């Protein structure tokens, strides 16, 4: 639709233009459910403390191998970027990358947090231009997981991706909502500031938001890329806690797929979380795969009354526009 509209303008008014091929970008986001290494640092749960239980090097490497297996099984091939949540530390992520994904040439991106049991990390095939962290206010005196920010040069475009893991609702949806509201505000403030500096940035937020977002009124100004089904099964009900969003105004083709692989599920169809009892399973969340078709540099000569349109009308169900509709 976009290409046809530009061609129509040129035929009517007269101009020369060139449209390069779209650039593909694929990002997998997954809460890997307490992925701890085999080093006793003092903050591990008992079941993942090698000095207190059965957790050991062999079990740790088995979990990494299973995690890498799912990343390699992403539809369409190895993702360009992997955003993981619930990773203990950078040692865990680096061992995953160097030992089980060494052929994919991922760069590990993140910050070790001594006060936190788990952190978000990125694996990226394109080394980042810049990495930052968005600090969140403490919740009832406890530090919250920061939002991890990464800027990438992708072909001729610049992407900024945020990896989120917000406060869970375990202590009650109402009592913990203030922590998620604070995280949403910080994320939107950062995106708005970056957008004001560069209108051509592609701004993407992914991760485990521990909310369906809509019912809590969070991030309404963002455009949510939706997939079919839920990502988390709790008390007999499917929930969508894992999301991918794009900050407007932006025109890109975006689709989201929830990876419902048979071995990720129990016999009842719920996510098969890792269990030390049978040393099987993967995670209590399902991975999501965001796929973008990003228009590359667009060049055309304006003449004879031709106007430049940065946002064009479309009837596509997956074209993200400033209207926020799919």
6 within some domain: no
Strands (E), 88-177: 107-109, 119-124, 130-134, 147-154, 157-165
User: How many domains are there within the chain?
Assistant: 1
pTM of the shown model: 0.84
95 within some domain: yes
Nearest one of 156, 196, 187 to 295, comparing CA atoms? 156
| Average of per-residue pLDDT values in the chain | 85
213 within some domain: yes
154 within some domain: yes
194 within some domain: yes
Helix (H, G, I), strand (E, B) or coil at 90: helix
Please give the residue range of the domain that contains residue 59. 21-296
Do the Cβ atoms of 253 and 318 come closer than 8 Å? yes
pLDDT tens digits, one per residue of 193-232: 999 999 999 999 999 999 999 999 999 999 999 999 999 9
Q: What is the mean pLDDT of each run of 10 residues along the chain (326 residues)?
A: 35 38 89 96 89 92 97 96 98 98 97 90 96 95 95 92 96 94 98 95 97 97 94 92 94 92 92 86 97 71 40 34 27
Residue with tokens 């900024």: 160
pLDDT tens digits, one per residue of 257-288: 999 999 999 989 999 999 877 788 999 999 99
202 within some domain: yes
CATH code, 242? 3.60.10.10
Between CA 138 and CA 285 the distance in angstroms is 25
79 within some domain: yes
Give the pLDDT confidence score for residue 297 in this predicted structure.
56
323 within some domain: no
Q: Is 160 exposed, middle or buried (0-12, 13-18, 19+ CB in 10 A)?
A: buried
């Amino acid at each position: 639709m976009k290409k046809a509209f530009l061609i129509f303008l040129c035929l009517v008014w007269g101009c020369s233009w060139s449209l390069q091929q779209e650039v593909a970008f694929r990002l997998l986001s997954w809460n890997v459910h307490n992925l701890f290494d085999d080093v006793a640092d003092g903050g591990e749960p008992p079941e993942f403390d090698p000095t207190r239980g059965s957790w050991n090097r062999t079990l740790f490497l088995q979990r990494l191998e299973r995690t890498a297996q799912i990343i390699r099984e992403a539809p369409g091939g190895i993702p360009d970027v992997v955003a993981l949540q619930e990773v203990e530390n950078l040692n865990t992520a680096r061992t995953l990358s160097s030992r089980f994904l060494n052929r994919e040439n991922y760069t590990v991106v993140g910050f070790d947090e001594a006060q936190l049991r788990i952190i978000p990390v990125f694996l990226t095939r394109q080394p980042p231009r810049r990495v930052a962290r968005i600090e969140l206010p403490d919740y009832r005196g406890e530090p919250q997981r920061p939002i991890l920010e990464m800027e990438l040069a992708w072909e001729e475009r610049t992407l900024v991706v945020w990896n989120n893991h917000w406060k869970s609702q375990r202590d009650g949806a109402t009592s913990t909502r203030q922590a998620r509201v604070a995280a949403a505000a910080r994320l939107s403030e950062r995106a708005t500031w970056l957008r004001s500096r560069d209108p051509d940035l592609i701004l993407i937020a992914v991760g485990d938001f521990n909310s369906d977002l809509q019912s809590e009124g969070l991030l309404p100004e963002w455009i949510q890329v939706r997939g079919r089904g839920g990502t988390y099964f709790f008390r007999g009900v499917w929930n969508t806690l894992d999301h991918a969003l794009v900050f407007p105004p932006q025109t890109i083709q975006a689709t989201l797929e929830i990876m419902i692989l048979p071995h990720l599920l129990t016999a009842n169809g719920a996510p098969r979380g890792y269990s030390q009892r049978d040393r099987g399973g993967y995670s209590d969340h399902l991975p999501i795969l965001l796929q973008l078709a990003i228009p590359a540099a667009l060049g055309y000569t304006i003449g004879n009354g031709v106007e430049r349109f940065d946002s064009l009308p479309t009837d596509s169900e997956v074209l993200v526009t400033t209207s926020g509709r799919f």
